[in-house]
């Protein structure tokens, strides 16, 4: 139970508009975009500057309260959910872009800047920040760093990690840290920067981020290809990569996703097709022309049923937007949307589609699959109802078997959404007891009291918060 004096201390320094402690206010900070999990924090604070943040952390330390960093709450593994209660620190008010440095081709921003706003701000100066998660209109840069977010342009341009040059922030006990800088080469000591990227708010709170920028591509061509058979779409992906063509975007949607997007947006996607590939090649106009011809040739050779090329930048943007709405579109269909993040080496992609299809039939599930095919990373998404226990058991068994298959193929249980709460059961299966033990030691070195985002990454939270598939993961 939170003492009134604690609330008063925080209100005195941060102001009442930046401190929430009534249940009805706290409800919204108890969940993120992961289904079937909700845990109330004791208090939620929104620092306006680093002094506010340090003060809030001092109070949390004095009270021995868990500290849970939160960006926009679009996470898909439960990372910002306070399963032990405590203090949620919302970072969205630290939202200033501080510098765009055209001499060094870097930009520095506070953690709470929205990804798309940042992209647009650097684009206005003729520069390009490629990481573009599907959530870019809402997600924060800090959340992207903490999850090492990928995006639609990941295949050619890489993920968030590939752009991070420096990070500033504070450890759980309030000790400030700064790692990296604007130097393109820097091997002074361990790379704490790389350790913090993808650390899911368990090692430190990031306050400021410096990224590398590049010049935007001069030209771009966008294709949509439709297939009556999803394995052929998988084959097309492998052939494009084997031909040494690296599109900036190579995304897939299956028949269920096509229909959900069509119901949502009505943009004229053919409902009878089993799969769609969205392919974009960009770069110097001569290279783009050559790669576009190569892509077309491969699509024809594997016998794609229809191949369309966008006639204008507006049409290309409309097609990409259709892919970006996939999760929102499938989420409307059923009460519970359980989206996973299976990733395999690209050569195994066609077989993964076959395995997903086999398991979908075996467990009699309604499933939509879409994702970053070029990265070997797709999101099989169960459209279910958490109130139906029998169906949830089948969903759970489906993912268990699929993850076992993925691991035998050298794949990973999370390509981009992180471990958080929902993948903790799978982490040891992938990296072994030794891997988990080393990670625990690292966590302990950064946060010996275990105050920062406890119960994430490692399997030591309350039992009912184990997999996201367990209905009723809640203390509300
Ligand atoms: C529609 C939709 C599409 C998506 N598409 C993609 C996609 O294409 N690629 C992809 O990778 N992900 C995607 N995601 C997942 C999600 O958007 C990303 O993981 C994103 O990076 C989370 O950002 P956020 O600001 O919402 O962070 P939150 O969800 O608030 O937090 C995520 C994690 O980061 C930690 N955290 C947040 N801020 C900080 C900080 N300043 N310091 C330390 N820790 C911090 C939190 O504790 C938590 O563990 C999608 C989600 C949705 C809903």
Ligand 1 midpoint to CA 289 (Å): 35
**What was the pLDDT predicted at 350?**
87
76 alpha carbon to ligand 1 midpoint, in Å? 7
Q: Which ligand 1 atom is at minimum distance from the Cα of 159?
A: 11
Centre of ligand 1 to C-alpha 242, Å, is 32
Torsion of CA 410, 465, 447, 80, to 10 degrees: 90
User: What is the number of alpha carbons within 13 Å of residue 335 lying toward its C-beta?
Assistant: 8
Q: Specify the residue with its C-alpha closest to ligand 1, atom 14.
A: 135
**Sheet containing 164-170, strands listed edge to edge, beginning at the edge strand earlier in sequence:** 97-101, 106-110, 205-212, 164-170, 176-180
Q: How far is the CA of 245 from the centre of ligand 1 (A)?
A: 30
> Which protein residue's CA is at the shortest distance from atom 2 of ligand 1?
135
For ligand 1, whether the C-beta of 371 sits within 6 Å is: no
Q: Is the dihedral of CA 282, 285, 291, 292 positive or negative?
A: positive
Ligand 1 and 74: CB distance under 6 A: yes
CA distance 385 to 392: 7
CA of 34 from ligand 1 middle (Å) equals 11
Is residue 208 within 6 Å of ligand 1 at its C-beta? no
Q: How remote is the CA of residue 339 from the centroid of ligand 1, in Å? A: 14
Q: Which of 133, 320, 372, 417 to mutate to test the pocket of ligand 1 (most atoms within 8 A of CB)?
A: 133
In contact, 309 and 294? CB cutoff 8 Å: no
Regarding the beta carbon of 91 and ligand 1, being less than 6 Å apart is answered yes
pLDDT at 461: 56
Measured between alpha carbons, how far is 36 from 476 in angstroms, rounded to an integer?
12
Residues in the chain: 476
Residue 256 confidence (pLDDT): 95
Q: Choose the residue to mutate in 33, 37, 70 for probing ligand 1, maximizing ligand atoms within 8 Å of C-beta.
A: 70
Q: What is the whole-number distance in angstroms between the Cα of residue 9 and the centre of ligand 1?
A: 30
User: Which residue's CA lies nearest to atom 5 of ligand 1?
Assistant: 134
**Pick from 107, 82, 87: which is nearest to 97 by CA?**
107
Structure tokens at 377: 């990373």
Q: Alpha carbon of 378 to those of 81, 367, 406, 439: distances in Å? A: 24, 12, 12, 26
Q: Is the CB of 147 under 6 A from ligand 1?
A: yes
pLDDT for 465: 45
Best of 149, 205, 320, 338 to mutate for ligand 1, by most ligand atoms within 8 A of CB? 149
What spacing in Å lies between the alpha carbon of 73 and ligand 1's midpoint? 6
pLDDT of residue 151: 92
Rounded to two decimals, the pTM is: 0.94
For residue 379 and ligand 1, the question of a CB distance below 6 A is answered with no
**C-beta 414 within 6 A of ligand 1:** no
- The Cα–Cα gap between 26 and 39 comes to 10
* pLDDT-flagged residues of the chain (< 50): 463-472
Among 377, 371, 374, 219, which Cα is nearest to 292's? 219
Is any ligand 1 atom within 6 A of the Cβ of residue 32?
A: yes
**Pocket lining: 248 vs ligand 1, CB cutoff 6 Å:** no
Instruction: Give the Å distance between the CA of 304 and the centre of ligand 1.
Output: 35
Atom of ligand 1 nearest to the CA of 149: 11
- Going from the Cα of 216 to the center of ligand 1, the distance in angstroms, rounded, reads 25
Pocket of ligand 1 contains residue 199 by CB under 6 Å = no
What are 293's two structure tokens? 């011809």
CA of 462 to the centre of ligand 1 (A): 23
Test site for ligand 1: of 30, 32, 80, most ligand atoms within 8 A of the Cβ: 80
pLDDT at residue 476, as a whole number: 58
């Amino acid at each position: 139970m939170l003492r009134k004096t604690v609330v008063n201390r925080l209100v005195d320094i941060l102001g009442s508009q930046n401190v929430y402690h009534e249940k009805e206010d706290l409800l919204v900070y108890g969940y993120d975009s992961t289904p079937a999990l909700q845990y109330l924090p004791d208090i939620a604070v929104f620092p306006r500057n680093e002094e506010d943040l340090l003060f809030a952390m001092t109070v949390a330390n004095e009270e021995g309260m868990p500290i849970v960093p939160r960006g926009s709450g679009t996470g898909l593994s439960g990372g910002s959910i306070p399963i032990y209660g405590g203090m949620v620190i919302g970072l969205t008010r630290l939202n200033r872009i501080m510098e765009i440095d055209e001499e060094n081709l870097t930009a520095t921003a506070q953690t709470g800047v929205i990804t798309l706003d940042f992209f647009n701000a650097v684009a206005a100066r003729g520069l390009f920040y490629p990481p573009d998660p599907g959530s870019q209109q809402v997600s924060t840069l800090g959340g992207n760093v903490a999850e090492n977010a990928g995006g639609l342009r990941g295949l050619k341009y890489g993920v968030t990690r590939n752009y991070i040059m420096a990070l500033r922030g504070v450890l759980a006990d309030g000790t400030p840290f700064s790692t990296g800088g604007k130097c393109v080469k820097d091997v002074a000591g361990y790379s704490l920067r790389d350790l913090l990227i993808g650390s899911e708010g368990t090692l430190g709170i990031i306050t400021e981020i410096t990224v590398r920028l590049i010049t935007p591509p001069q030209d771009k061509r966008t294709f949509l290809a439709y297939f009556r058979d999803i394995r052929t779409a998988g084959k097309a992906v492998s052939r494009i990569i084997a031909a040494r063509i690296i599109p900036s975007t190579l995304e897939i949607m299956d028949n269920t996703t096509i229909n959900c997007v069509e119901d949502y947006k009505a943009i004229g996607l053919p409902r009878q097709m089993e799969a769609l590939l969205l392919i974009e090649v960009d770069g110097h106009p001569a290279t783009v022309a050559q790669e576009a011809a190569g892509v077309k040739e491969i699509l024809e050779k594997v016998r794609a049923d229809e191949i369309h090329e966008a006639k204008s930048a507006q049409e290309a943007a409309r097609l990409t937007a259709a892919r970006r709405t996939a999760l929102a579109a499938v989420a409307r269909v059923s009460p519970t949307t359980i989206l996973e993040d299976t990733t395999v080496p690209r050569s195994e992609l066609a077989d993964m589609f076959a395995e997903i299809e086999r398991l979908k039939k075996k467990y009699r599930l309604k499933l939509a699959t879409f994702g970053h095919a070029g990265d070997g990373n797709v999101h099989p998404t169960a459209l279910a109802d958490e109130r139906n226990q029998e169906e949830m058991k089948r969903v759970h068994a489906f993912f268990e078997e699929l993850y076992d298959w993925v691991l035998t193929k050298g794949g990973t249980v999370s390509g981009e959404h992180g471990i958080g709460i929902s993948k903790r059961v799978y982490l040891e299966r992938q990296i072994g007891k030794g891997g988990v033990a080393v990670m625990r030691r690292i966590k302990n070195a950064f946060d010996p009291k275990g105050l920062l985002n406890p119960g994430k990454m490692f399997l030591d939270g309350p039992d009912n918060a184990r997999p996201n598939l367990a209905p009723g993961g809640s203390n509300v």
